[in-house]
Chains A and B, each alone.
Chain A
Amino acid sequence: ELKVEQNPLFLSMQEGKNYTIYCNYSTTSDRLYWYRQDPGKSLESLFVLLSNGAVKQEGRLMASLDTKARLSTLHITAAVHDLSATYFCAVIQGAQKLVFGQGTRLTINP
């Protein structure tokens, strides 16, 4: 059974700092997604990573995928308050459904 684990689960950081969220998954998959959820809201898609070594960037967020290590990272550069949210990674299981990590609640303090 596919398991997806994120760490850390909670992250409090200061504006201007860099940090990385890690997503490990237990079985082979050919794509990985990152989502963002604001408090009380639904999830919105951030990135899809389709192959080993894939890297996607949007503003201060950069995601990468290492399929051999079964690891994806979401790197935050020079964090700003607007990036405070919960971030989820998700991996396809059996071509039928996504399995989500537990989510990382990111709080960025001025």
Chain B
Amino acid sequence: DVKVTQSSRYLVKRTGEKVFLECVQDMDHENMFWYRQDPGLGLRLIYFSYDVKMKEKGDIPEGYSVSREKKERFSLILESASTNQTSMYLCASSLANWGVSGYTFGSGTRLTVV
């Protein structure tokens, strides 16, 4: 069964901390994505990557960076966490030709910044 695994379901971090959210997929997908989901705002794209070491800004990249050193792993980095980054973070991956599922999503990480 295809899988996208996010390293943590719940995280609590302090303001100013550097935070790493890890995402690993075992499907040999080319594309990987990071979204955040907030009530009333839907899903907003932070960054995406269509190849190793490649990255593209999404709609809300400010305050975030990403790393993709290996095809299967896409990391989201909050350089200095702030309370307005409290959110549900969803990682997704897809084939380059999208396939029948489009995205396969991870289970999500609920991050609270205090």
Footprint of B on A, CB under 8 Å? 31, 33, 35, 41-45, 48, 88, 90, 92, 96-98, 100-103
Q: B residues near A, CB below 8 A? A: 31, 33, 42-43, 45, 48, 50, 56, 58, 90, 98, 100-108
Supposing A96-B48, A101-B42, A103-B42 touch, asked if A45 and B103 sit within 8 A by C-beta, the answer is yes
CA gap between A31 and B103 in the complex, in Å: 13
A88: chain B residues at CB < 8 Å are 42-43
Instruction: Name the 3 nearest CB pairs between A and B, nearest first.
Output: A45-B101, A33-B102, A42-B105
Q: Identify B105's interface contact among A44, A92, A96, A101, CB under 8 A.
A: A44
A43 to B60, CA, bound (A): 20
Q: What are 6 A-B contacts defined by CB distance under 8 Å? A: A41-B108, A42-B90, A42-B105, A45-B101, A48-B102, A88-B42
Interchain Cβ contacts within 8 Å, total number? 47
Among A33, A42, A97, the residue within 8 A (CB) of B33 is: A97
Q: In whole angstroms, how far apart are the Cα atoms of A41 and B33 in the complex?
A: 17
Q: Closest approach, in angstroms, between the C-beta of B98 and any C-beta of chain A? A: 7
Q: B residues within 8 A CB of A100?
A: 42-43
Whole-angstrom distance between the Cβ of A34 and the nearest chain B Cβ: 9
